[in-house]
């Protein structure tokens, strides 16, 4: 499987972003949705981004509509919702699939490097989070229910 930094993704404006631009940064990569019970976690994600950005943290949000149709909007609608509801300033990307034959290569990579319970690679729901260190190593996978304090406890060990 390829190295994280050889992958490229599209941002919310459909511009190509090489993940190599994040070398040396700590990443928190999350599949997000606007109409999910976990959507209030945008607050935690923004708080972590604000608190640790100067120490090299980049939060990367990837909208996904694979779970209960909870991200039905266009990229523009997602961006507007995040701006107006949560004042999100971290980077948002093009809507993706995280499971199945059309799964994003990034999420295939993350799932392979950090499988879930019992070794399953499938993502179970929105707001699954992956913490990646400054060298591109996937440190930990967080379940959708894991909020900001659980993430921060791991983040402070590597930032």
- How do the domains of the chain map onto residue ranges? 4-158
User: pLDDT under 50 in the chain at which residues?
Assistant: 1
From CA 27, how far away is CA 82, in angstroms rounded?
Answer: 19
pLDDT reported for residue 2: 58
pLDDT reported for residue 28: 98
Give phi and psi for 11, each to the nearest 5: -80, 180
Q: What is the pLDDT of residues 90-108, one digit of tens each?
A: 999 999 999 999 999 999 9
Catalytic residue among 4, 28, 36, 64: 36
Q: What is the DSSP string of 1-39?
A: ---GGG-EEEBTTS-EEEGGGGTTSEEEEEEE-SSSTTT
Active site residue 82: no
The residues, ordered by sequence, that sit 6+ positions from 111 with a Cβ below 8 Å of its Cβ are: 98, 121, 122, 123
* Strands 16-18 vs 26-32: parallel, antiparallel or unpaired: unpaired
Q: Which CATH number does 4-158 carry?
A: 3.40.30.10
């Amino acid at each position: 499987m390829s190295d994280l930094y050889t992958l490229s993704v599209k941002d919310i404006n459909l511009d190509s972003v090489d993940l190599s631009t994040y070398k040396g940064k700590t990443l928190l990569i999350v599949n997000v949705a606007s109409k999910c019970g976990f959507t209030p976690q945008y607050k935690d994600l923004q708080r972590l981004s604000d608190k640790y950005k100067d120490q090299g943290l980049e939060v990367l949000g990837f909208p996904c509509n694979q779970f209960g149709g909870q991200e039905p909007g266009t990229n523009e609608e997602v961006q507007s919702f995040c701006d107006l509801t949560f004042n999100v300033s971290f980077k948002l990307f093009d809507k993706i699939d995280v499971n199945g034959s059309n799964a994003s290569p990034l999420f295939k990579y993350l799932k392979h490097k950090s499988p879930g319970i019992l070794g399953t690679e499938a993502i179970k729901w929105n707001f699954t989070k992956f913490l990646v260190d400054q060298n591109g190593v996937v440190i930990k996978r967080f379940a959708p229910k894991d909020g900001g304090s659980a993430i921060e406890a791991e983040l402070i060990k590597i930032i």
